[in-house]
Amino acid sequence: MITVKPALTALLFSVVAGSYGMSALSQTPEEIGLRIEKEYHEALDGFANYTANLNMLLRNRQGQESERQLRIKVLEMENDGDRSLFIFDEPRDVAGTAFLVHSRREENDEQWLYLPALQRVKRIASSNRSGSFMGSEFAYEDMGVPEVEKFTYKYLRDESCANSECTVTERYPVDKRSGYRRQVVWRDKDELRIRRIEFYDRKDSLLKTLNFEDYQQYQDRYWQAHTLDMVNHVTGKSTTLTWSDFVYGEDVNANEFTQTGLRRIR
């Protein structure tokens, strides 16, 4: 799910040399940014599927709240992007709604939404992926896996964050129909955990900030944030996702991750 300039050249190279060794002195900020992203994704590979539960808390500008309960299933794919399935259980007006994502490494993701009231599977067009996902502050494009090939990158600096030393990188969507011009990503150096992402709109104004908290480690390898808080600086609204009951290595049914399977989800 979801998903980023030093003032002086001398500062850049001194920081990079300290972080990644003297060989980094010959690398450009773009090469360093790409290297950091690749290392992050390599650390996540091999999880062999997982399931989890999710609470979605929506807040409007006035602080009024509403909640939704979901189940998540993720199928890891070899040589392609992963497949993710979101199933809404509560409240009653959205129960049975299901959202399927086929992430692609070099092509646009494929996304479908099943609406039980209409008994219909709706394909989410690439041109509509900047729209709100189920009334939340997450866009449809935030719900896919941010594969390495979907962005170009640039290293900005190192700085302290979340009681750690973090790298700060910038990533630019390759898809010209993206709702974002760029994203700024903070990752801690120790475990490559994402701590914060700032999303900038097509006019390069700060649109949203996503904070990652409550990390826990699974299988002595995979770090998972249990709280994701997205704040929209334009609307004043926010959405908090609280994850629980992670099970890695779960035996999931690949047939569920199809358009036909969406119609059968319960």
pLDDT in tens, 10-52: 233 333 334 444 455 588 999 999 999 999 888 877 766 889 9
Average pLDDT of 71-86? 87
pLDDT above 50: residue 73: yes
The Cβ of residue 195 has, within 10 Å, a number of other Cβ atoms equal to 20
Residue 237: predicted pLDDT? 98
Residue 4: predicted pLDDT? 33
Residue 96 inside a domain? The answer is yes
Instruction: Tell whether omega for the bond before 116 is within 30 degrees of 0, i.e. cis.
Output: no
Of the chain, the percentage scoring pLDDT greater than 70 comes to 89
CA-CA distances (angstroms) from residue 245 to 51, 54, 70, 184, 250?
8, 9, 12, 30, 12
- Three-class SS state of 15: helix
Residue 1 inside a domain? The answer is no
pLDDT in tens, 205-214: 999 999 999 9
Average pLDDT of 152-168? 94
Residue 11: predicted pLDDT? 30
Q: What is the CATH number of the domain that holds 219?
A: 2.50.20.10
Residue 102 inside a domain? The answer is yes
pTM: 0.87
Residue 187 inside a domain? The answer is yes
Residue 18 inside a domain? The answer is no
For residues 140 and 133, is the Cβ–Cβ distance under 8 A? yes
Closest Cα partner for 57 from 217, 200, 213, 231?
Answer: 231
Residue 24: predicted pLDDT? 54
Residue 8 inside a domain? The answer is no
Residue 25 inside a domain? The answer is no
Residue 15 inside a domain? The answer is no
* Domain encompassing residue 132: 43-262
Average pLDDT of 255-266? 86
Average pLDDT of 45-72? 92
The residue assigned the tokens 């490494």 is 105
The domain tally of the chain equals 1
Distance linking the first and last C-alpha atoms of the chain: 21
